[in-house]
Amino acid sequence: MTSTLDVGDARLAYTEAGSGRPVVWLHGSGPGATGMSNFGGNLPAFADHRNIVVDLPGWGESPRPETDEPLIFHAADRVCRAMTALGIERAHLVGNSYGGAVAMRIAMRYPDRVDRLVLMAPGGVLPADAPPWPVGLERLFGYMAAEKPSRDAMAEFVRLMVYDESLATEALIDERYESSLRAHPELPIPPNFGDLTPDLGRIAAPTLLVWGREDQTVPLTWAPRILDGIPNAELRVLPHCRHWVQYERAPEFNHIVREFLQGGAAAAAEG
């Protein structure tokens, strides 16, 4: 069940499940994305945590923000306000793509609020030779820019997100398409995301990068700049997998992330 929070100048929608050490889940920016569409299938594996699954500003049931501030910066501040409203002083952050960029921004600006950081092919850091855009980003921006995007365009987008196209089910395409129409366009075109590159070294939290080897949206070739920039980062690469690692390779993803977060719990117990 989705609830909403007043975060000062906006309302933020979220779903809460489980109990224990808090984990905040931050979704990607694809059309029709919501917190639960990205992570709903993973939550049962994390029932021993207090899971806060956010709809970032402009997606799902969170209204589109009225701001000229870079979207990553704006969203990061509102997520921190939501954590405060929920009585969460400190949490693990798990972010996919755009949500990974939001998680990095929080870790840079509010380091005392982050335990461990899990980033799946995060945005916000571009190599110097990034353009022309990978095909997944081209489809994403093209869908957002369309006056009335079609279901066929959504089907093409969803199929690009997974290596095994059998996972791009008709039900999933319908769900994402209907969600996208309710909030279209979630992004301003062109989007002003913001650049996190100069501040990567400020991320003190232990960080796990998880990448699909065949990602066509945020390619694996973009990973080294982040891996080299974050002082305490490690990288896991899953073969035969594209951008939606947490969906396409859910059992492996759940195992890897649980193991990483439990490392944080062990360190806290020893301290």
pLDDT tier, 131 (very low <50, low <70, confident <90, very high otherwise):
low
- Mean pLDDT along residues 58-66: 91
pLDDT at 17: 97
CB 143 within 8 A of CB 136: no
- Mean pLDDT along residues 193-221: 96
pLDDT at 128: 76
Residue 236, Cβ neighbours under 10 Å: how many? Answer: 15
pLDDT at 271: 44
pLDDT tier, 264 (very low <50, low <70, confident <90, very high otherwise):
low
| pLDDT surpasses 80 at 123 | yes
**Residue among 49, 74, 92, 243 flagged as catalytic:** 243
Q: What percent of the chain has pLDDT over 70?
A: 96
Q: DSSP secondary-structure letter at 154?
A: H
| Beta-bridge partner residues of 54 | 14, 26
Instruction: Tell me the Cα Rg of the chain.
Output: 17
CATH topology of domain 2-127+192-262: Rossmann fold (3.40.50)
pLDDT at 269: 45
pLDDT at 266: 46
| pLDDT surpasses 50 at 102 | yes
| Beta-bridge partner residues of 51 | 17, 23
Q: What is the rounded distance in angstroms from the CA atom of residue 197 to the CA atom of residue 92?
A: 22
243 is an active site residue: yes
Tell me which amino acid residue 170 is: E
Name the E strands within the chain.
2-6, 11-17, 21-26, 49-55, 91-96, 114-120, 207-212, 233-238
pLDDT at 270: 44
pLDDT tier, 65 (very low <50, low <70, confident <90, very high otherwise):
confident
- Mean pLDDT along residues 41-45: 98
Record the pTM: 0.95
Tell me which amino acid residue 57 is: P
- Mean pLDDT along residues 122-140: 87
Average pLDDT value for the chain: 94
- Mean pLDDT along residues 37-52: 98
Of the candidate ranges 75-84, 159-168, 260-269, the one whose mean pLDDT is the lowest: 260-269
Q: What is the pLDDT of residues 207-219, one digit of tens each?
A: 999 999 999 999 9
- Mean pLDDT along residues 123-136: 84
- Mean pLDDT along residues 58-83: 94
